[in-house]
Amino acid sequence: MSFSYVVFEPAKVHWIRHFLNHSIGHCYIVEPHNGKWLVINKSYCSLDVFVIDDLGDRIKGKRVIKVERRLLHGYGVMLNTCVGLVKARIGIKAAWVQTPRQLYKYLRSHQDGR
């Protein structure tokens, strides 16, 4: 089984933050990788992928949900957002999940099995 951690944090400075929940306005993926941690973070203007040694400060005080990754056959239509990236990486097809808060609620309600 492959696991990922979805990290949720407050909305960053961007025009769209006015339409997002302030406490859950952004999300990204963290995965174990060769004894370190792979961070996959989609922002409004870039895709950041990097490896860190320690998660401590990176996730301190943030909401984190551990999920099992599934392989999807055909993703359907997904927006090029942090939520779209997370959904594609962990295998969620739920079309109505478009904001970080909706993703958080979806993952919380499906934690015992999707």
Residue type at 84 in one-letter notation? G
Burial class for 87, CB neighbours closer than 10 Å (0-12, 13-18, 19+): buried
Tokens of 74: 């055909």
Does residue 17 have a pLDDT over 80? no
Domain count, the chain: 1
Banded model confidence at residue 114, pLDDT cuts 50, 70, 90: very low
**Main-chain phi, psi angles of 7, to 5 degrees:** -105, 130
* DSSP string computed for 52-75: ES--HHHHTTSEEEEEE----S--
Domain hosting residue 8, numbered range:
3-109
pTM for the predicted model, two decimal places: 0.85
Q: pLDDT-based confidence at 10, cuts 50/70/90?
A: confident
Task: Let me know if residue 53 belongs to a domain.
Answer: yes
Residue-wise pLDDT tens digits, 21-65: 567 889 999 999 999 999 999 987 889 999 999 988 888 889 999
Check residue 70 and give its pLDDT: 83
On whether residue 39 sits in a domain, the answer given is yes
The pair of structure tokens assigned to 80 is 């090029």
